[in-house]
Structure 1
Amino acid sequence: MKTSDLMEATKRAEHEYRRAVWSAEEGILPGKTSFDKVARQYLASAEAAASTNASKLSKVVADRAVLERYMIPFFGKSTITSINAPKLHDYLNWRRTYWTAGPGSQETHIIYERQGKKLHRPARHIEATLSTLRREAVTMRSVFKHAVRLGHIKPSEVPKVELVAEQRNKRPSFNDAEIEKLFAVAEKRIIEAFGSQQRRNSKLAPSVWTDSTAFESRVRYERMVLYCFISIALATGMRPTELFNLDWGHVVGFKEERGKPLSVQRIRLLAYGKGRKPQQLVPNVEAFQSFCNLWDAFVTVHKREPKMTEAVFVNAAGERAQSFKKSLNALLDAAGLKEDVFGRPRSAYSFRHTYATRQLRKGTDVYTLAVNMRTSVKMIEMYYSDVVPDDFAKQLEGSYE
């Protein structure tokens, strides 16, 4: 009891004993609480926080999926203090092969819930990538941090998840000729979906978007929305998640700028994706016309203007779009651009990579680009270090003169 006084020692011992009894009754005796109990306590705490902050909800959903499928079944009733570096190493090996040689190898479908409905998708029997393991390690750290807050362990007892750095490859993007071809095929597919009068037009005029006969078909409308999605993605560098989270209220200054001459129209966007707070970005001026097209299309279909709380990208039913994967793959296949020259598959993320490449070649400095893309200078340098601005070529090459 750290005292030579017998009466004081007895008093302190009784206090410590009462505290230990209370901790045991509450299930928080240091070192004795199981991983699964702490994990569920963490989820309950995270859900309570998300009830007052909607931006945290997506992380709670992702954490619950990872904990319930992988971590809780593996660690189970193991005490929080017994999970050390060797046990974490065993878990990572088990998790890496979960879908190929582990419990998931026998599953054919994954059942999940969206908007109160139970859905299923085919299970992919592939090994977990290092980036996936890194993302899930954040969830594990959150559980251990919660254990520290509850007094189960000390900060120094939180185990470290060691993951070897992966080889960084250039991200699949598009060059200028491929972008031109992609837009040409996209325009052709839209025109093919119009009536004979519109099909005679070789180019899409602005009036086509507001023609009331142009939106009788869901296919016609959603091909147009995809066209605008690609245009805005290329002009902003936004992540797909940020684009799908984009509401009209996040397009700052849109209504005010519409009435101004084209040469002076300027807007700012609020990106909601990674992180808890919205981050402002500056779009290229080419994005403005695509927002106008989407606004006019919504008015034509729904006979009213969008509310500021409604999504920018909606389907023909007026519901927030969740993914354009199927329609984008169809467009990429039609254009022969599904893969880059190295055989790497392209996706909606490829437009973000194309934006970064274009900006660097235009001479935008790395720091400015990193701020506008809501990422780090390190990530820009890691993925796009091979991009050399053409304007600097002579300076880098030198000459014999």
Structure 2
Amino acid sequence: MRFSVKGKGQVRLSLKTSDVDEAEIRAKREHLRYQLRAEDGHLATSKPFHTVAQEYADSIAGQIKLGLKKDYRAQQDPQIINRYLIPFFGKDRIDSISESRIQQFIQWRYGYWISGPGQAVEKVEYLRNGRRLFYKPRHIVPKANTVRGNCAVLSNVFKFAAAKDYVRSADIPRMVLPKVKPNPRPSFSLEEVHQLLDAAIARLADHTIPRRQQLERMVLYCYINIACFSGLRPVELHNLNWQHIGKFAAQKSLPNAQRDLVIHAFGKTAPRNVVPMEQAGTAFDFLWDAFEEINGRAPRPEDPIFINFKGERLRSVKRSLNALLEASSLKTHDFGGARVAYSFRHFYISQQLLANVDVFQVAQNAGTSVEMVQKYYARLGPEAFKKELRARWRTDAEKRRDEEGNE
């Protein structure tokens, strides 16, 4: 159909039906809707979703410069838009997408890699530092958190459309998102962490391996040590530069007990200062010395703390950590869950709670909320309270005898 709206120009729409009676009903409804929007002062011209989504993607770089979005959005959001959102919503008008349409998208997204367009995809191309790379996708059903993340990008597209007056804020459809069940990663006991660190040290003593491998094992030992005694997230550890360890160079010659190290952490949440335990101090010493050996000079403030044998920032310890966990028979928890780098953060928070550190102070240092600590980290098994659970039960007569004996 084609019609004109006074002061807004001509509008062309597809009614998407071959039934004449149904087409007439839809035409009247669309014409009335456009007239009402024009009277409200909104643009009567409607844009297809793919156009609006691309405009939003093009705007991300500018929003990052203004500090309105985090850097990772520049890569993540366009990938989600081009792989999932545009293929599904495509030519749908941005102001015609309904709540039921979004629910259809959510179901489609769950099946994308197993029964949808992704089932035939064998490799996915991406760019890193200007280089074209590929990875083999996993043909599995995504987790609820992943789908929620995709919907968050969809929500950002709608907010952008409202700001551009492509859709009224009141017309943005409600999103009923999939619920995420709490799934805390398995932690370690204090004895298990000591076992793991002892195994890491023992592997360092193997002089039959190349120096490169020795350095990698030493960095892994330090990574575990700092993670366990600071509670930093993996991304926060990988982001660390020497300038983020307050006054480390000035305190390097001091014993750990006399140091007052503060880590300026950033990554998932807003930047914050973290107070590590003194056990982490020696690991920083080792990493400083390793940097000097690899690069032939002392670290500069802007240099990364965790580096590989080439002196480049370390991006992952997954492979080396898995090898150490397997060698130590600690890869899986008693209940079968696989331990990962994030498990050290759970260990730190759990141990602080067991040591009766105030939960608010623990949450502040860990960059999370008291609610999240209670929901994900405070699930300590009964074995953590053996002494309390094996309390001595006394009869009234025994209580009286004990009281008389104390007089």
TM bin, normalised by shorter chain, reads 0.7 to 0.9
Q: 1:106 aligns with which of 120, 140, 153?
A: 120
Are 2:189 and 1:167 aligned? no
> For 2:292, what is the secondary structure of its paired residue?
helix
Counterpart for residue 221 of structure 1: 215
The structural deviation recorded for 1:55 is: 7.5
Aligned length: 361
> For 2:109, what is the secondary structure of its paired residue?
helix
Are 2:354 and 1:361 aligned? yes
> For 2:273, what is the secondary structure of its paired residue?
strand
Query: In the TM superposition, what are the counterparts of 1:228-267 in structure 2 within 5 Å?
Result: 228-267=222-261
Q: Which shows bigger deviation, 365-374 or 348-357?
A: 365-374
Counterpart for residue 147 of structure 1: 161
> For 2:332, what is the secondary structure of its paired residue?
coil
Q: 1:396 to 1:97 in 2, by over 3 A?
A: farther
Q: 1:55 to 1:318 in 2, by over 3 A?
A: farther
* Distance of 1:54 and 1:109 partners within structure 2: 33
Structure 1 runs, 4 residues or longer, greater than 6 Å off: 395-398
Are 2:305 and 1:312 aligned? yes
- Which AA in structure 2 matches 1:146? F
Question: Which structure carries more helix by proportion?
Answer: 1
Counterpart for residue 88 of structure 1: 102
> For 1:112, what is the secondary structure of its paired residue?
strand
- Which AA in structure 2 matches 1:34? P
- Which AA in structure 2 matches 1:86? S
Q: 1:343 aligns with which of 332, 336, 344?
A: 336
The structural deviation recorded for 1:31 is: 6.3
TM-score (norm 1): 0.83
Are 2:301 and 1:287 aligned? no
- Which AA in structure 1 matches 2:240? L
Cα contact 2:63–2:69 (8 A) shared by 1 = no
Are 2:147 and 1:117 aligned? no
Counterpart for residue 90 of structure 2: 76
* Distance of 2:252 and 2:372 partners within structure 1: 35
- Which AA in structure 1 matches 2:47? T
The structural deviation recorded for 1:305 is: 0.9
- Which AA in structure 2 matches 1:217? R
The structural deviation recorded for 1:51 is: 4.3
1:85-127 deviation line (CA, Å, top 9, x unaligned): 1111110011111111111112222222111112222211111
Q: 1:368 to 1:332 in 2, by over 3 A?
A: same
Q: 1:272 aligns with which of 266, 287, 294?
A: 266
Cα contact 1:367–1:377 (8 A) shared by 2 = yes
1:41-72 deviation line (CA, Å, top 9, x unaligned): 11111112334659822122111111111111
* Distance of 2:198 and 2:69 partners within structure 1: 37
1:291-331 deviation line (CA, Å, top 9, x unaligned): 11101111122110111111111111111111111111111
Name the Cα RMSD after superposition: 2.6
> For 1:192, what is the secondary structure of its paired residue?
coil
Q: Which shows bigger deviation, 69-78 or 114-123?
A: 114-123
The structural deviation recorded for 1:21 is: 4.3
**Computing the radius of gyration over CA atoms, which structure comes out larger, 1 or 2?**
2
TM-score (norm 2): 0.82
* Distance of 1:93 and 1:379 partners within structure 2: 28
> For 1:82, what is the secondary structure of its paired residue?
coil
Q: 1:40 aligns with which of 54, 79, 97?
A: 54
The structural deviation recorded for 1:192 is: 0.9
The structural deviation recorded for 1:397 is: 6.6
The structural deviation recorded for 1:232 is: 0.7
- Which AA in structure 1 matches 2:279? E
In structure 1, list runs of 5 or more residues that go unmatched: 1-15, 196-215
Are 2:61 and 1:60 aligned? no
Counterpart for residue 10 of structure 1: none
1:189-225 deviation line (CA, Å, top 9, x unaligned): 2111468xxxxxxxxxxxxxxxxxxxx6211111111
Q: Which shows bigger deviation, 370-379 or 290-299?
A: 370-379
Q: 1:129 to 1:221 in 2, by over 3 A?
A: same
Cα contact 2:225–2:283 (8 A) shared by 1 = yes
Q: Which shows bigger deviation, 345-354 or 381-390?
A: 381-390
In structure 2, list runs of 5 or more residues that go unmatched: 13-41, 400-407
* Distance of 1:396 and 1:45 partners within structure 2: 62
Q: 1:193 to 1:330 in 2, by over 3 A?
A: farther
- Which AA in structure 2 matches 1:59? R
Are 2:373 and 1:380 aligned? yes
Counterpart for residue 23 of structure 2: none
